Amino acid sequence: MGRLSRATWLYIGVIVIAAAIVTGYGPHRDVAWSRLAVLAVLFLVCESTPTAILPRQVAWSPGYAATLASVVLVGPWGAAIVGLVSAFSLRRGLKPAQRVFNGAMYALSAYAAGRVYLALGGVVGIPPHNSFPQIIGPFVGAAAAHIVANYGMVSVVLWLTSGGESGRRLLNLRLSLPDLGYAVFGLLIAALWSVVGAFAAILVLIPLFVARWAIAQFANQQRAYEATLRVLCQAVETKDFYTRGHSERVSRGSVMIARAIGMRPERVEAIRYAGMLHDVGKLGVPTKVLQKTGKLTEEEYAAIQLHPMRGLEIIKEIGFLDEALAGIMHHHERIDGCGYPMGLAGDEIPEFARVLAVADAFDCMTSTRSYRGARSIAEAITELHNCSGTQFDPAFVDALVAAVERDGWQTPDTPVPPPGERIEAAAHDHDDPAAPLRVMGSR
């Protein structure tokens, strides 16, 4: 969370005071203390081992199940006490302010859930055998209240600390649907309490903990997978010193365009991969062709034109979105139909390919090449506009220009060849719209 603004402190203060009022107000009579203690321990265990979901500050944990079971078993006030325990989570790396906020926030959410449960006709205590299915209505209401309160309070704090962006994304309640599912597990715990006591909670939560173990494995593997993809695109760049970092930047540029035109998150993710791997086919082009000075023979030109297909060949076995594959294959098509490898025109070109083409050319122009210096961003934008409608899709050119003007664009450092190492320098770049490849005999 970094350093907190005054508004954030104020907000945390309000939440904490509200939680203090709620827990102080009671009622403190007729509380099943031993049950409450068991539930509090349970909640603490759940809260101490959360699984991170995106964005990074927010973590999901099966704790919902424990607080909601408390709503049924020990009532709103008991549930609030159980929620407070979150402040003592054994999770490391939590700042005191975060702990206090979490405890107060969970106490308030659980209390709200408990009030809704009572308002909808729920009865506090171990549910008797015949309480099904009447208990389901009040319980789902309580779960929904818990989630809305929790998300609401967390979103505000994220919004206050991160200047607006991630809070807006979090308010998207699609994320909370699985949470509703986890919350319902609280009902299962409460329902079985009459038969096996606290073992009910353990039996219900074991599959969830196993699931979390699997998700942790998944996350490890996902990281290794991303790193391997990155190596794959770095392998391409070993061939030409001056194109180092190109793939990463094209990836970033494509994502900027994709976000600007409002693509769905899964597709943004796919285009990120597509950007990283768009030139992987260059590995199939002989190094001496890529680095040749002067004009190319017809055969060498054909070899370069084949690189999108080569790329497809390398990565088509990876279980990507097909769209990313199509984007990589067609990223050198032109709107006027003069591109390669297929000569598609206009809307025939897949959307991903049109996005990649713009980001690709923009990064090429703003980078230093062995045969010319980097152009300024303004010059590159002018060039993009010049080619808009013939080579590039105007909509995506505008999107990139707008995004670059808003967020800026990090141009690469001028590469300094390390002394002693022999650098093969290319005399042309196939991505460069201002300096198209020249073929022997033409012009």
Partner 1 sequence: MNVSQSRVSGRQSRVTSPRLRSRARRPAGTGPRLLAAAAGLLVTVAVVQTLLAGVVAVKWALAFAALIALGELLRLNLPGDREAAPIGTACALAYALLIRIGPVPAWQSALQVVAVTGIGMTLGVLPHLAAGRPARRASMASRLLAVAFAAFVFRPLADTPAVIRHWWTAFAVLAVLVALAWLVNMVLEAAVRASVLRARLWVTFTDEVRVLGPLGVAVGSSATLIVFAAEAMGLVAVAVFIAPLLVTQVAFRRYAGIRATYLQTVRALAQVTEIGGYVEAGHSDRVSRLAVAVGRELGLSEQQLLELQYAALIHDIGQLSLPDPIPGGATVLVSPEDQRQIAELGAEVIEQARMLDSVAEIVRRQSDPCRDPAAVGTVAPPLSSRIIRAVNAFDDLVGSSANPSRATAVVGRLRLDTSAEYDPEVVEALARVIAR
Binding footprint of partner 1 on the chain (CB under 8 A): 129, 132-133, 181-182, 184-185, 188, 191-192, 194-196, 199-200, 202-208, 210-215, 217-218, 221-225, 227-232, 234-235, 238, 280, 283-284, 286-287, 299, 302-303, 306, 310, 313-315, 317-319, 424
60 has which bridge partners? 51
Buried b (16+ CB within 10 A) or exposed e, 382-414: ebbeebbeebbbebbbbbbbebbeeeebebbee
**Looking at beta carbons only, is 283 or 434 nearer to partner 1?**
283
Q: Which is nearer to partner 1, 221 or 390 (CB)?
A: 221
Nearer to partner 1, 21 or 206 (CB): 206
Asked if residues 355 and 254 have their Cβ atoms less than 8 Å apart, the reply is yes
* Residue found under tokens 């919902």: 64
84 or 315: CB nearest partner 1: 315
Question: 73 with 122: CB under 8 angstroms?
Answer: no
Nearer to partner 1, 284 or 412 (CB): 284
Closest to partner 1 by CB, 18 vs 136, is: 136
Residue 11's contacts (CB-CB under 8 Å, 6 or more residues apart) are: 156, 157, 160
Q: Give the residue with the Cβ less far from partner 1, 78 or 311.
A: 311
**CA 326 to CA 109: how far, in whole Å?**
47
- Tell me the closest approach of the beta carbon of residue 237 to partner 1, in angstroms: 11
Taking CA atoms, 360 is separated from 10, 247, 413, in Å, by 46, 8, 17
What kind and span of H or E run contains 138?
A: helix 136-162
30's enclosing H/E stretch is: none
Nearest distance from residue 341's CB to partner 1, in Å?
13
**Which tokens belong to 282?**
């260059």
**DSSP conformation class of 175:** G
Q: Are 180 and 144 in contact (CB under 8 A)?
A: yes
Nearest-approach distance from CB 189 to partner 1, in angstroms? 10
- DSSP one-letter string for 336-381: TS--SSS---GGGS-HHHHHHHHHHHHHHHTS-BTTBPPPPHHHHH
CB of 41 to partner 1, least distance (A): 18
- Shortest distance (Å) from residue 240 CB to partner 1: 12
Q: How far is the CB of 67 from partner 1 (least distance, A)?
A: 17
Q: Taking the complex as a whole, how short is the minimal distance between the CB of residue 293 and partner 1, in angstroms? A: 17
Between 222 and 414, whose beta carbon lies closer to partner 1? 222
Q: What's the start-to-end Cα distance of the chain, in Å?
A: 61
Closest distance between partner 1 and the C-beta of residue 408, in Å? Answer: 28
Q: How far apart are CA 355 and CA 156, in angstroms?
A: 34
Nearest approach in angstroms of CB 80 to partner 1 is 26
CB of 328 to partner 1, least distance (A): 12
Phi, psi of 388 (to 5 degrees): -65, 130
Measured from the CB atom, the residue of 41 and 314 that comes closer to partner 1 is 314
Residue 114 or 281: the one with the smaller Cβ distance to partner 1 is 281
Nearer to partner 1, 31 or 302 (CB): 302
Q: What does each C-alpha distance from 318 to 28, 236, 312, 325, 381 come to in angstroms?
A: 60, 17, 10, 10, 35
The three-state secondary structure class of 285 is coil
Smallest separation, CB 88 to partner 1 (Å): 26
Residues 75, 11: Cα–Cα separation, whole Å: 27
| Ranges of H-type helices in 33-131 | 33-48, 63-84, 96-119
Output 137 or 163, the one with its CB closest to partner 1.
137
The distance of closest approach from Cβ of residue 220 to partner 1 in the complex, given in angstroms and rounded to an integer, is 9
Q: Judge whether 426 and 417 are in contact, CB under 8 Å.
A: no
